[in-house]
Structure 1
Amino acid sequence: MHRFTRPVLVATLAVAAALALAACGGGSSSSSDKGVADGSDSRIPAGAPLIDQDKLQFNPSQLTVKVGETVYFKNSETALHTVDIDGKNVSGNMKKNDVFTWVFQQPGSYKITCDYHPQMKATVTVTGS
């Protein structure tokens, strides 16, 4: 039987905790979690409204934009996704790294879903210009 000294045990537990946090994403949020592109994808301007499709969810699940503003949707995972607005597929099938844009022309609240994954839901609220 091995006996660990207290410093070795504490260090081992610290490493295990760090690995567990890294596996869960570490609790930090990316810019797409906030609905704003960070400019890391040259197809999406920095600061543009962005909803990311990742881990079988829309991220963020709620976004507010102005009438006429372009919203970017990006599929960041290997699963096939769609962007349905109020029940209508507007994007077609989106493969990994595909980007789709949509301009909301009227104020209102729009339900965003995916044909393949009914648990994926988001709301885009569009305000007057």
Structure 2
Amino acid sequence: MMSGRLSSIAFAVALLSMAVPAHAATIEITMENLVISPAELSAKVGDTIAWINKDIFAHTATAKNGDFDVTLPPKKAVTSVVKKAGTVDYYCRYHPNMKATLKIEP
């Protein structure tokens, strides 16, 4: 009788652990002195990107494939949620020499 109850509990715990989604991470990307840092970064679908502009002028994070286009006012931060897997090269429309790559896993 006891082993049947333990089996049921073990099964329920295993089922719950599969049903609860993993917690999404918050990842910081900083723009300062006309540099995007880090220049290469990995994230997962569902993660939040905190875009932080430490410069005194505006920047953008513009995906070359059109997946996102984030405008960052001077000395401000903006967040967005990663929605699609793939490797995305992005840049600042105002300062095209500012380039970076975001590798997004499912």
Q: TM-score, normalised by structure 1?
A: 0.57
Partner of 1:123: 101
Q: Following superposition of structure 1 onto structure 2, how do residues 80-99 of structure 1 map, counting pairs within 5 Å? A: 80-86=58-64, 88=66, 90-92=69-71, 94-99=72-77
SS in 2 for 1:97: coil
The runs of at least 4 consecutive aligned structure 1 residues that moved more than 6 Å come to none
Structure 2 match to 1:66: 44
TM-score between both structures, scaled by the size of structure 2:
0.68
Q: What does the per-residue CA deviation read over 1:94-121, in whole Å, with 9 as the maximum and x for residues that have no partner? A: 2222112222212100112101111100
| Greater strand proportion | 2
CA distance in 1, matches of 2:98, 2:65: 13
The one-letter code matched in structure 2 to 1:115 is R
Q: Identify unmatched segments of 5+ residues in structure 2.
A: 1-24
Higher RCO structure (Cα 8 Å, ≥6 apart) = 2
The percentage of aligned residue pairs carrying the same residue is 27
**Superposed CA offset, 1:5-57 (max 9, x none):** xxxxxxxxxxxxxxxxxxxxxxxxxxxxxxxxxxxxxxxxxx73111000101
